[in-house]
A and B are shown apart, each in its own frame.
Chain A
């Protein structure tokens, strides 16, 4: 017997890498299930990882677009609603609120991603900071670069460093400001971080570490535009464009309002099931069995498992060790940080800016690594020695 709810579509919220990867995988298992994809933007499919190396690849915003919403809808037989915001969830009734219309679903997938951590800066120029988290952001950012010479980047994490390298390749002068003592402090031990910093400096990046931006003031009209950044260490910098790359946090608000379990992200188990029946979360908004990993590999593994589940074969994702590659062409790097709080120590082999840092526990078992330069080639061999992420905790 087919109930009314089974005839309702699978509703996917979000057309980023998570939403579209799920669609692609789902259609491999089920050609017929009705799918409604709701997205706040225009539904263009684009390469998210390439937002931070567009200059290196010679691509502008249009170049990063892979398919329009129309061709995605046609290729995967989707009902696609662009420029549509979900404003509430009602898991008991199996409905989501789209504007003033309650849409029923058979299954609901929250794939709405993460947002840039907001900064609360003082000054007349604090509103003109760019954060780049989707294709529209990138388009606006590239437009702002027209005629610009100097870009200031707040944040020296993975994205900050990738943008620094890419903007140098684009011919810009780059200043990086971050409160940490080294670059990528959560991903790399000091020696590897110094190597990467050295290579970026050799290329022309200026780092301002151990300090933060306090105020951003618009340069008075009549001057050449741009802003002045006042740092907490007393220094002042001029820049034409400012980027915030201080990190992302999963979007959890609507899920929380609907009573779903939320921690750092929307809490799901290894089958991507939230605390509400028939509601799933995928990608940057999801905390999967305690793991919050805003990277491509875990997202793709999760999309494959969820596609099977949605087509009737309940499947769990098991995260293997997943190295993260850092797209800094001036100094290739790959990391697989040890679990937070793991006992052990770093052992470092170094030849100039080629660094191989291995994190071993007291029994000598490899738990993580950071590689730069030519040692990056060893990432696969080392990853094979690492415990699976989801087993590491148990």
Chain B
């Protein structure tokens, strides 16, 4: 499971947790997140997220 971070606001999408508020189940891989999903905090799209390594 990987984590992806919004470059604009720093919000983290954790594949393990998904984003249930938007109907994205825990365990949803980044590739399977809908292409038009928007950062819940700042509204940018998936292309403005970058994969990060977090312990």
Question: Could you tell me which A residues sit within 8 Å of B by CB distance?
Answer: 17, 21, 24, 47-50, 53, 66, 295-297, 300, 304, 323-325, 327, 377, 379-380, 383-384
Contact partners of A53 in chain B: CB under 8 A: 41
* Docked-complex contact A377 and B23, CB < 8 angstroms: yes
**B1-25 toward A: CB 8 Å interface, digit per residue (1/0)?**
0000001111000000000011100
When C-beta atoms are compared, the residue in chain A nearest to B36 turns out to be A380
Chain B residues with CB under 8 Å of A295's CB are: 43
- Asked if B42 is an interface residue, CB under 8 A from chain A, the answer is yes
Nearest first, the 5 A-B pairs at minimum CB distance are A49-B42, A47-B9, A325-B43, A380-B36, A300-B44
Indicate if the CB atoms of B10 and A47 lie closer than 8 Å: yes
Question: For B23, what are the chain A residues with a Cβ–Cβ distance below 8 Å?
Answer: 377
* A377 close to B22 (CB less than 8 A): yes
Q: A49-B43, A300-B8, A383-B36 are in contact. List 10 more A-B contacts (CB 8 A).
A: A21-B8, A24-B7, A47-B8, A47-B42, A49-B8, A49-B9, A53-B41, A296-B42, A297-B43, A300-B44
Q: Give the interface residue-count category, chain B.
A: 10 to 19
CB-based contact B42/A50 at 8 Å: yes
Neighbour of A300 across the interface among B36, B41, B45, CB < 8 A: B45
- A300 and B48 contact, Cβ closer than 8 Å, known pairs A50-B41, A325-B43, A384-B36: yes
B22 / chain A contacts, CB cutoff of 8 Å: 377, 380
Instruction: Give the residues in chain B near A325, CB-CB below 8 Å.
Output: 38, 40, 42-43
Contact partners of B10 in chain A: CB under 8 A = 47, 66
Chain A residue at minimum C-beta to C-beta distance from B10: A47
Q: Which of B9, B38, B48 contacts A380 (CB 8 A)?
A: B38
Q: How far is the CA of A57 from the CA of B7 in the complex (A)?
A: 16
Asked if A297 contacts B41 (CB within 8 A), the reply is: no
Q: Which residue of B lies closest to A381 (CB)?
A: B36
- Bound-state CA distance A17–B44 (Å) is 12
Cβ of A50: which chain B residues have Cβ within 8 Å of it? 9, 41-42
Chain B residues lying within 8 Å of A66, measured Cβ to Cβ, are: 10
> Are A380 and B37 interface neighbours, CB within 8 A?
yes
Residue of A nearest to B35 (CB): A380
Contacts of B47 in A (CB 8 A): 300, 304
A17 touches B38 (CB 8 A): no
Query: B36: shortest Cβ distance to chain A, in Å?
Result: 5
* Bound Cα distance from A187 to B22, whole angstroms: 23
Instruction: List which B27-55 residues lie within 8 A (CB) of chain A.
Output: 34, 36-38, 40-45, 47-48
A-B contact pairs, 6 of them (CB 8 A): A49-B9, A66-B10, A300-B45, A300-B47, A325-B42, A380-B22
Find the B residue at minimum CB distance from A327. B41
- Whole-angstrom CA separation of A54 from B33 in the bound complex: 27
The residue of chain A having its C-beta at the shortest distance from the C-beta of B43 within the complex is: A325
User: Which residue of chain B is the closest to A322 with respect to CB atoms?
Assistant: B43
Compute how far the CA of A49 lies from the CA of B11 in the bound complex, rounded to whole angstroms: 12
Q: In this complex, what residue of B is CB-closest to A53?
A: B41
Within the complex, the shortest CB–CB distance from A163 to chain B, in Å, comes to 16
A305 to chain B, nearest CB (A): 12
Q: Which residue of A lies closest to B50 (CB)?
A: A24
Q: Least Cβ distance of B50 to chain A in Å? A: 9
